[in-house]
Amino acid sequence: MNSSGIMRWFIWLSQLFYLLLLFYSQLTSSSSSFFNSSSPLLCSQDQSSALLQFKQLFSLSEYVHCDISYPKMESWKEGTDCCSWDGVTCDSVRGDVIGLDLSCSWLYGTIPSNASLFLLPHLQRLNLAFNDFGGSPISSGFGGFAKLRYLNLSGSQFGGEVPLELSHLSQLSSLDLSSKYIMDLSLDTSIVKRLVQNLTKLRELHLDWVNMSSVSHTSFMNLSSSLASLTLGGCGLRGSLPDLDIFGLQNLHELNLGSNGLIGEIPSSFSNLKELSYLDLQFNNLSGPIPASFGNLTKVTQIFLGYNYFTGHIPSSLSYLKDLNIIDLSDNKFQGSILVSLGNLTKVTDIMLYDNNFTGQIPSSLSNLKYLNFIDLSYNKFEGSIPMSLGNLTKVTEIMLQYNNFTGHIPSSLSNLKDLTFTDFSHNNFGGFGGKIPFLTNLTKLTAVDLSYNQLTSQMCEFQPNNSLQSLRLENNRLNGSILNSISNLVNLRELHLSSNNLSGIVEFDKSTNLKELNTLDLSNNSLLLGIKSNSNHTFPHLRNLSMSSCNIIEFPKFLKSSKYLKYLDLSNNRIPNQIPEWMFEVVENLQFLDLHANLLQGNLPVPTSNMTAFFMSNNRLTGEIPSMICKASDLEILDISNNNLSGKIPQCLGNFSHSLLVMDLRTNNFDGTIPDTFEKYNSLATIAFNGNHLEGKLPKSFVNCTNLEVLDLGNNKINDSFPYWLEALSELRLLVLSNNRFHGPIRNHKNKGVFFSKLQILDLSHNEFTSLLPGVYFENLEAMMISNEKAQEPQYLAAYYGNINRFEYDRENIEKPKGFYQDSIEVTVKGSKIERLRVLTIFTMIDLSSNQFQGEIPDALGRLKFLRLLNLSHNSLTGHIPSTLRNLLALEALDLSSNKLTGEIPMQLTLLTFLAMLNLSQNYLIGPIPQGKQFNTFDNKSYDGNLGLCGSPLSIKCSTNEPPPTIFLEDNDSMFAEGFGWKAVLIGYGCGFVFGLVVGYVVFKTRKPQWILRLTEGEREGRVTGHINQRPKRRRS
């Protein structure tokens, strides 16, 4: 070996020796640190102190928005290694605190700008999510973490403007400032632009429910191309989707733009987001069809497009999305049938298509969806039968088909769905079962079944034992047979609804002893008899809600004696006579709702208990006075004691005993004296009805304190006062009835400017002694009669809603869902005979000023009320011509100007009133030809009696231009509508049976009962309804 080789070998050996020496030194140092108890802590003292000082800023307050939460800072103890504390992560070499996760830690307090938290310069991850920082602003100190890569401040009650300093965090890859449905934080355009400009490494940006309503869409241009997740839900964004310029984000996996105000169509450029797996556009105002290019989003797993205004058909290209798990197209305007090709989406677990206009049948190909867990097709127009193949969906847990047009039998194959927990087939036209009803209850996981409102005709036969079923709804069908012994094996049943069927026979409650958990029982509207044993002391120990309305009951069921938990009791519309037995007063002690209306009860009015919220005792034979003890029922919301024989004075306390009271209905009794002037401020009254008593004196001016009042019905009394102009202050008033009293003098408004009575839709001042001119200024303010209110698909009625009682509404999370309502109604009289009360349609509008002493001309301002449906000015002293502006009342269905002193010709323009079904111009001084055509061809002679100057059809007098009109001698004879309309009821159909107006109250005719009244009173008889609400739940956001 030459000398150079020896030298190289020597150098290599020296280096190896040096490395071995260095390794030994490190090894012995580490061993010494490990075994020597006096070695220094890994966490540096200054960072440990900073954390302990930061801890002192907070108290602990348990926060419920996390599945798992606990006070992590409780493990932070002085003298221990901070790197071992909960939520703290340290660098393994240097010991610096690089991560802090205090999410869901019950922290309550604020973080000032000088907080010791900002003395941790090495932080790379910071998570303070889901604590409570009391609406305090985000400190600018957060912008000092130069190494921070992850920042999560979501759901922690921060408020105010997001500081500009956050844009200094140039290393951030994830920023989360989102909250849950609360816009406490806000961002402006300048800050958003700086965030976009500086945070070029962002992969996740979550700003849900941060107020960005003032942010320009151009601010989002040039977002980081590495962005994989962008969530801007509920930020107040406006404009169209293309304005956001986000379709160049080729790496985007998650996009949430839901709950904003975005408009327009989905652009085809959406297909550029080829990596997208999650898309949320729900709760916007988007429209148009789903573009076919959606089929290019082949990696998408979840699509949420619900609660928009999308139209058209489901594009066939959606069947290309083979990885799709969840599809939500609910609450839109889609139409057409469900594509058979959707059966190709074999990975789908959830399908939500409810509340659209889909038609056709359920394709049998859906049975291919082996992983389907949830399907909701409710509120559409589907028809046909349910395919047997749906029984192949063995993993499905919930099926929602309510509110469609399904027919046929419910297939027995559904008994294969062993995981089914909830099913709702209500409001269809199912006629029976492929088997017997009990097959559904054989499913051992099933908790709720709703088959109500169908045409089921099956026999109620015995159900098999079932430990899971809690709610069974079969009301409003055609079921027959025995009742409680049929379901006695459903031992955990909590709700049973069998009302409005053809059930009959004797109810033996002693045969239902297994139903220990029964909470709600509704047997109303059946032909039942209580067995002798049912009047024993047998009880359902947990019974809280019992409804046996319209069951032909002739006594109070004695099994109620032991029902100590009863909160809701409805025995209305039965034949229970005599006085309420003493033992019933022990039953009602805990009641919140009591409905005994329409029975044969006698004696004094019982006193509602202190915790009662609804008290219905109308249409009985109760006598005596209102006991003053009634005013101790301070939680009362509904008080209805109308249509009895009660008398005496109205107690003074009745105006102020309950700030919760919504309805005070004392109609049709014998109360006298004056109305108490004790209505206090901040009351909740929506309905005051004292019609049909003997009340006198002046109106109490404390009515102005009833600022929520919608209905004031004081008709048919002896009230002697001038027009109460001060009622103008009641901005919510919709129905004002002062008819058949002794009001007098002119009607003048108090306000010279401003809006008053803008919501009034029914005004009845008839049969009083008002004088002077018609109140034209009021006509100019009746906005409810100028604007259409026909948006609802189903009839809507005036009602007062209350909600502090347990109602018959099933909810999967809360079985006892509080809900209830009282329907405003008015009595109808024909030929002096009272008819049942009729509900008041919200679209109905009426003015009745008949039978007063008004003078002067009919003001042109009436022509502005283009959605007025009934106008009665009869039996006054009006003069002048019939104004041609009445042609603008295009919704008018009834017009009575009879028994006045009107002159001139009948305006030809009135033929434009194509909905006019009743016209009375009799007993005036009208002359000239009667207009011809359209509705005028349907009126007979009686519409024109007493106008001797009129000619033409239907009169026998032919018109001649050469002959002067005959002399007119007007006699004050009664016309066919001698008393005017009073309260009218109109139910009129035109064209394809379209139903317009429903008028309320009483109508007196001297001669005959018109067919349009007959159709109303016999076809739409409706009393006060207090049962559960069978209305479509409102899904769309307000």
- Whether 628 and 605 have beta carbons less than 8 Å apart is answered as no
Q: Which residue has the higher pLDDT, 48 or 247?
A: 48
Q: Which residue has the higher pLDDT, 387 or 833?
A: 387
- Whether 377 and 404 have beta carbons less than 8 Å apart is answered as yes
Q: Is residue 863 scored above 90 in pLDDT?
A: yes
Average pLDDT over every residue of 115-142: 96
Residue in the structure block whose two tokens are 């009001």: 743
- In tens, the pLDDT along 884-894 reads 999 999 999 99
Give whichever of 63-67, 386-390, 1003-1007 has the largest mean pLDDT: 386-390
- As given in the structure block, the two tokens for residue 945 are 């009696």
Q: Supply the Cα-derived Rg of the chain in whole angstroms.
A: 38
What is the distance between the alpha carbons of residues 302 and 109, in angstroms, rounded to a whole number?
Answer: 38
pLDDT at 688: 96
Mean pLDDT, the chain, as a whole number? 84
Q: Which residues contact 612 (CB under 8 A, 6 or more apart)?
A: 588, 591, 592, 593, 594, 633, 635, 636
What is the distance between the alpha carbons of residues 550 and 554, in angstroms, rounded to a whole number?
Answer: 11
The string of DSSP codes covering 323-347 is: T--EEE--SSEEEEPPPGGGGG-TT
Q: Is residue 1004 scored above 50 in pLDDT?
A: no
384: closest CA among 405, 403, 355, 356? 405
- Whether 378 and 424 have beta carbons less than 8 Å apart is answered as yes
229: closest CA among 152, 288, 329? 152
What is the distance between the alpha carbons of residues 810 and 802, in angstroms, rounded to a whole number?
Answer: 17
What is the percentage of the chain residues whose pLDDT exceeds 70? 80
Torsion sign (Cα): 884, 885, 891, 896: negative
pLDDT at 503: 86
Q: Judge residue 940's burial from the number of C-beta atoms within 10 Å of its C-beta, 0-12 exposed, 13-18 middle, 19 or more buried.
A: exposed
Backbone phi, psi, residue 921, to 5°? -115, 15
Give whichever of 181-195, 530-544, 681-695 has the largest mean pLDDT: 681-695
Residue in the structure block whose two tokens are 């190289």: 8
- In tens, the pLDDT along 351-375 reads 999 999 999 999 999 999 999 999 9
What is the distance between the alpha carbons of residues 469 and 1025, in angstroms, rounded to a whole number?
Answer: 29
Whether residue 465 is preceded by a cis peptide bond, meaning omega within 30 degrees of 0, is no
What does the domain layout of the chain look like in residue ranges?
Answer: 45-109+127-259, 799-1019
- As given in the structure block, the two tokens for residue 55 are 């801890």
- In tens, the pLDDT along 98-108 reads 999 999 999 99
How many CA atoms are closer than 13 Å to the CA of 310, on its beta-carbon side? 29
What is the distance between the alpha carbons of residues 475 and 496, in angstroms, rounded to a whole number?
Answer: 9
What is the distance between the alpha carbons of residues 921 and 874, in angstroms, rounded to a whole number?
Answer: 9
Backbone phi, psi, residue 448, to 5°? -145, 135
pLDDT at 288: 97
For residues 92-102, one letter each, b for 16 or more C-beta atoms within 10 angstroms of the residue's C-beta and e for the rest, the string is eeebbbbbbbb
- For 625, the 3-state DSSP assignment is coil
Q: Is residue 1026 scored above 50 in pLDDT?
A: no
Pairing state between β 107-108 and 59-60: antiparallel
Residue in the structure block whose two tokens are 């973080």: 111
C-alpha triplet 792, 796, 801: angle, nearest 5°: 120
Distance of CA 524 to the CA centre of its chain: 26
- Taking each continuous run of H as one helix and of E as one strand, the counts in the chain are 6, 69
- As given in the structure block, the two tokens for residue 830 are 């024909």
| 799-1019 has the same fold as 45-109+127-259 | yes
What is the distance between the alpha carbons of residues 377 and 330, in angstroms, rounded to a whole number?
Answer: 9
| Band of pLDDT at residue 588, cut at 50, 70 and 90 | confident
What is the distance between the alpha carbons of residues 841 and 845, in angstroms, rounded to a whole number?
Answer: 9
| pTM of the full structure | 0.79
Q: Which residues contact 139 (CB under 8 A, 6 or more apart)?
A: 111, 112, 113, 115, 118, 163
51-60, 507-516, 639-648, 831-840: least confidently modelled range = 831-840
pLDDT at 301: 97
Residue in the structure block whose two tokens are 């790197």: 83
What is the distance between the alpha carbons of residues 1008 and 977, in angstroms, rounded to a whole number?
Answer: 9
236-240, 465-469, 909-913, 922-926: least confidently modelled range = 465-469
Backbone phi, psi, residue 14, to 5°? -65, -40
- Whether 349 and 326 have beta carbons less than 8 Å apart is answered as yes
- Whether 781 and 764 have beta carbons less than 8 Å apart is answered as no
Four-point Cα dihedral 788, 791, 795, 798, nearest 10: -60
pLDDT at 30: 42
pLDDT at 1019: 33
Q: Determine the CATH number of domain 799-1019.
A: 3.80.10.10
Distance of CA 263 to the CA centre of its chain: 24
403-417, 557-571, 701-715: least confidently modelled range = 557-571
DSSP 21: H
Q: Judge residue 189's burial from the number of C-beta atoms within 10 Å of its C-beta, 0-12 exposed, 13-18 middle, 19 or more buried.
A: middle
What is the distance between the alpha carbons of residues 1038 and 1020, in angstroms, rounded to a whole number?
Answer: 31
Q: Is residue 787 scored above 60 in pLDDT?
A: yes
- For 995, the 3-state DSSP assignment is strand
- In tens, the pLDDT along 709-756 reads 999 999 999 999 999 999 999 999 999 999 999 999 999 876 656 678
CATH of 45-109+127-259, one of 3.80.10.10, 3.40.309.10, 3.30.390.30, 2.60.260.20: 3.80.10.10
- In tens, the pLDDT along 7-56 reads 555 555 555 555 554 444 444 444 333 333 344 458 889 999 999 999 99
- Whether 291 and 270 have beta carbons less than 8 Å apart is answered as yes
819: closest CA among 545, 429, 534? 545
Pairing state between β 125-127 and 150-152: parallel
Q: Is residue 64 scored above 70 in pLDDT?
A: no
DSSP 900: S
What is the distance between the alpha carbons of residues 1027 and 570, in angstroms, rounded to a whole number?
Answer: 8
Q: Which residue has the higher pLDDT, 441 or 802?
A: 441
What is the distance between the alpha carbons of residues 901 and 877, in angstroms, rounded to a whole number?
Answer: 6
Average pLDDT over every residue of 239-261: 91
pLDDT at 735: 93
- As given in the structure block, the two tokens for residue 195 are 């965030």
Q: Judge residue 77's burial from the number of C-beta atoms within 10 Å of its C-beta, 0-12 exposed, 13-18 middle, 19 or more buried.
A: exposed
What is the distance between the alpha carbons of residues 316 and 602, in angstroms, rounded to a whole number?
Answer: 68
- In tens, the pLDDT along 330-339 reads 999 999 998 8
- β-sheet with 925-929: strand ranges across: 744-746, 769-773, 853-856, 877-881, 901-905, 925-929, 949-951
- In tens, the pLDDT along 941-976 reads 999 999 999 999 999 999 986 544 444 344 444 433
C-alpha triplet 766, 935, 963: angle, nearest 5°: 90
DSSP 891: T
Average pLDDT over every residue of 638-664: 93
- As given in the structure block, the two tokens for residue 773 are 């001119």
3-state secondary structure 823-875: ECEEEEEECCEEEEEEECECCCCEEECCCCEEEECCCHHHHHCCCCCEEECCC
Residues in the chain: 1038
Strand blocks (E) in 717-864: 718-719, 735-737, 744-746, 762-764, 769-773, 799-806, 818-823, 825-830, 833-839, 846-848, 853-856
What is the distance between the alpha carbons of residues 533 and 202, in angstroms, rounded to a whole number?
Answer: 75
Q: Which residue has the higher pLDDT, 802 or 1023?
A: 802
- In tens, the pLDDT along 479-501 reads 887 776 677 788 899 999 999 99
- As given in the structure block, the two tokens for residue 715 are 């008709």
260: closest CA among 224, 278, 239, 233? 233
399: closest CA among 431, 353, 361? 353
Average pLDDT over every residue of 229-246: 91
